[in-house]
Chain A
Amino acid sequence: MTTDIEVERRVADWLEEGPLEPAGWAVDDAIRTAVATPRRRNRTYGSRTMRWIWAGAAVVAAVIAIAVIRPFSATGPGALSSASLPPSVAPSPSAAAEPGLIGSWIARVPDNTVGVLPGHWTLTFNSVELLYRNPGGASFGQRVTYDGDELTLVADDCPTGTGQGHYRWAVAGTTLSLTLIADPSTCRSTILGSSPFEPAQP
């Protein structure tokens, strides 16, 4: 009969075995994704403060409602504060994740006639979501699914057309190319079509 202490010691010894350090890129990716993620509200405020917060939230909600209508627009409130789909879903890596694509990429969207804000856009791909950061610093996200070298994005709210977007991706050296397969959203195709994308600095 093995004593309790002996069992505990042997279990503890067994648990000591195993890797000690995560891969550096995994920590980097988590930090990069985290700081691009909205935070929860601090619940320690007093009631008076909460009233102001709720009032502020109502104003923000109104602004977001406008932004949802024209998230990519260069004109109107949505141009600099768009947040049509806040990236509230934490990445949840799956078997479909494409490691070559995962990470942040940047490209300059040129002047255009579809209303997309020109300037540098950052795209951050994780296993479930594509996060956009526009030249004004506003972020929003869209769900993405991968199938080999193709990806599918959910319907967005581009004024010129909505529906799922299908693209082919390729990483050559340090550049990412996104090739349009089909996308009724000219807003999105204007951004994603601004290939090649370069790795964005964290």
Chain B
Amino acid sequence: MDLELIRRAQRGDTVAYEELARQVAPRLFRVAFRIARDADAAQDAMQQALIAMWRGLPSLRDVDAFEAWTWRLITNAATTELRRSHGRAGSIRLLRLDDDAEEELRAPVEPTRAVGERDELERAFARLTPEQRAVVVLRYYVGLSLDEIADALRIPYGTAASRMHYGMRALRAAIEAADAAAAEVHSA
């Protein structure tokens, strides 16, 4: 990350902010999608995080902590969106289809593993709390350690570890259920 770009954005340079926002937007979106499992909610969360980034940059004392700070912003935004989207489940949202990325966004994910396991994982993940989801995503998608997650989210290490434990326990059960179902099919 270009530290000078961050400093310029901190000082209110809107050109620098725009460049910075365009750099970080894709990874914020990817993380938000993994937490929310919904492209609309992920885009909304990304927008919230980008706006929070602009507003909060002057208060960021250590530009080296910028990346960890953005994980916190997107996690907060995604968990908020997740709760909100639960409240509007079933609603239909109009979409502007004026961007190539939109098409990619809506394209079905290429099946790369057994449908059964993926469905089990989706269902198990859907039952996790937003906070548990966030910790799992930061650990196994972003690749942060539990220490780094605790630091980024400003939560005690034990809290991060506890969320990880319960989250992974549910996902393990999902994988084992899928394996059992697959074995049953094979033996039939």
Contacts and interface: CB of A to CB of B under 8 A. Distances in A.
B152 to A, nearest CB: 17
B137 A15 contact: yes
B158 interface: no
Given A11-B136, A21-B26, A22-B42, A39 B54 contact: yes
B82 interface: no
Contacts of B99: 23-25
Contacts of B30: 18-20
Interface string A69-104: 000000000000000000000111111011110000
Q: Chain B interface: which size bin?
A: 35 or more
A34 B109 contact: no
A44 B33 CA distance: 34
Q: Chain A interface secondary structure, helix, strand, loop or mixed?
A: loop
A26 B58 contact: no
Interface in B126-156: 136-137, 140-141
Contacts of B42: 19, 22
Contacts, number: 156
Interface residues of A, number: 45
Nearest to A29: B47
Contacts of B52: 90
Contact of B39 (A19, A34, A41, A91): A19
A98 B92 CA distance: 12
Interface in B82-101: 84, 88, 91-96, 98-101
Contact of B93 (A17, A27, A30, A95): A95
A31 B105 contact: no
A98 B94 CA distance: 7
A167 B29 CA distance: 34
Interface string A111-126: 0000000000000000
Interface string A1-24: 010000110111111111111111
Interface of B: 12, 14, 17-18, 21-22, 25-26, 29-30, 33-34, 39, 42-44, 46-48, 50-59, 61, 84, 88, 91-96, 98-102, 104-105, 107, 109-110, 112-113, 117-118, 121, 136-137, 140-141, 168, 171-172, 175-176, 179
Interface of A: 2, 7-8, 10-27, 29-31, 33-35, 37-44, 90-95, 97-100
26 contacts: A10-B175, A11-B168, A11-B171, A15-B141, A16-B141, A18-B30, A19-B29, A19-B33, A19-B39, A19-B105, A19-B107, A20-B104, A22-B46, A22-B101, A23-B102, A24-B101, A26-B47, A27-B50, A30-B25, A34-B51, A35-B17, A93-B44, A93-B47, A94-B88, A95-B91, A95-B92
